[in-house]
Amino acid sequence: MKTIIRRTILTFALLAMANLAFAQSGDELLTNGDFEDGRAPWTDTAGEIRTEGGNSFFFADVASAGDAFAVNLSQAGLEIIQDSVYTFTFDASTGEGNSRTMIVGIGLNEAPFTAATETITLTDSDSTYTLELQANFGSTDGRVLFDMGAETGIVVIDNVSLVQGGEVSEEPAAPAPEVAAPTPPDRNAEDVISVYSDAYTNIGVTTLATEWSQGSLTDEVEIESGEFALLYNIENFIGIQLENGNDLTNFTHMHFDYWVADESVEAGAILNPKLSNHAGLPETEGETNAIGSVNPVTTAGEWVSFDVALDDFTSESANGSLDRESIYQIVMTTAGTISDVYIDNIYFYNQTATSIDDVNESPNSFTLNQNFPNPFNPSTKITYSIPEASNVTLEVFNIQGQRVATLVDGLQSAGPHSVTFDASNLASGLYTYRLVSENTVMVRKMTLIK
């Protein structure tokens, strides 16, 4: 049975009854929702209060995806009663000639940061948005939140209001996987470090959703009889805290399976893993370096297997180190419109070792080889192999996760294949190429030097 840190659900019925005299239905719960008194008590994040024509409003220009999370805006200290309906209204717009999305709603201001949210689309026309939200939590320290995600662009917010009362219409059940994730192959115990899987013995995990996560672990869901998966509302990122540092120096690959709903996938959607290394330090003293991999999400409504060589992860640290001798945390980051994600079979393995069933000895196994030459200018050859005839895509992405080339897209026969990539029209830099076949994904990196 999988190890999971189960969160205690507190009952707020008595608390709600006790506070009815203080928070009557229809009372305004927010302070300074029109920003006429400046910033307080809104969070002091990036962005500013501007005044034009005697009207004050919140304004932020998200200069880059790396700064987007710092722009998020919220007001805490609100009494939210479990199962009550709240009407959330505000005016908002974005820059002229543009559009962008934003996650808005109500939530806990403390771990596990449970929230009731919706994703809206802003245009350059100032519009009034009215949401009916049902609280799936209760707290005297609730908050309203505006989550800018990782999209660039201008955000303008004004006239924010939250009152108790309203009606939530019945909505169809959210899409969910109908079959369990693929069963991992048999491997020797010493060749696997499993974080969450039925197939292997799992290591100790402190929490599957850290308190500093911007998203949350919604539930552990039984997909089929005895087959479970984790359902995350990731929003921007979630962290998985391991009990001890794990030495991945002699392990070759990271694997996890994920499932997202059809409506979640748009251009630019990603689900990127990051591994946080804490060499020589207790976990409380922070990471010494980190490595990550770019994983564009293009398939929805089906399980996809992320299976990538650790050597093909990229350093996310200023010192450029790719060390992985003491991995304490795994961080999953999303962008675009992805929020709810089912994840299963999170583990690391040593591909060079012989598995119990010799799963890696087949001449027609699923493989993606290192391009040659590498570094290259301006062309290089990519070779790969698939175990059976199937639809295959082979795509190239830049370091920002933007697709720059599609090399293969169609039905191919079982066995080895090769393709030449011509990068004459691209700038020097680091690129990744990704092979997808029968919902299995492999990624490698290559360097273009001109």
Q: How confident is the model at residue 69, as a pLDDT?
A: 60
Confidence band, pLDDT 50/70/90 cuts, at residue 3: very low
Q: How confident is the model at residue 16, as a pLDDT?
A: 34
- Domain 189-349, classified CATH 1.10.10.10, yes or no: no
- According to CATH, the topology of domain 367-448 is Immunoglobulin-like (2.60.40)
Is 290's pLDDT higher than 50? yes
Is 165's pLDDT higher than 50? yes
User: 367-448: same fold as 189-349?
Assistant: no
Going by C-alpha positions, the residue among 258, 264, 260 that lies closest to residue 182 is 258
- Identify the CATH class of 13-164: mainly beta
Residues 93-97, mean pLDDT to the nearest whole number: 83
Q: How confident is the model at residue 302, as a pLDDT?
A: 87
Instruction: Lowest mean pLDDT of 16-25, 35-44, 194-203, 249-258, name the range.
Output: 16-25
Is residue 82 within 8 A of residue 88, CB to CB? The reply is no
Q: How confident is the model at residue 67, as a pLDDT?
A: 52
Cβ-count burial 6-32 (b if 16+ within 10 Å, e if not): eeeeeebeeebeeeeeebeeeeebbeb
Confidence band, pLDDT 50/70/90 cuts, at residue 201: very high
Summarised one tens digit per residue, pLDDT across range 368-396 is: 888 888 889 999 999 888 888 888 999 99
Q: How many angstroms separate the CA atoms of 425 and 6, rounded?
A: 51
Q: How confident is the model at residue 11, as a pLDDT?
A: 30
Q: How confident is the model at residue 282, as a pLDDT?
A: 66
Single-letter code of the amino acid located at 8: T
CA 257 to chain centre: 13
Average pLDDT, the chain: 81
CA distances in angstroms from 147 to 14, 103, 238, 295, listed in the order given: 31, 5, 14, 22
268's tokens? 């630019």
Q: How many angstroms separate the CA atoms of 312 and 254, rounded?
A: 10
Is 21's pLDDT higher than 60? no
Most confident segment among 32-46, 129-143, 193-207? 193-207
Confidence band, pLDDT 50/70/90 cuts, at residue 267: low
Q: How confident is the model at residue 349, as a pLDDT?
A: 93
Is 259's pLDDT higher than 90? yes
Domain spans, the chain: 13-164, 189-349, 367-448
Percent of all residues in the chain with a pLDDT value above 90, rounded to a whole number: 25
Is 38's pLDDT higher than 50? yes
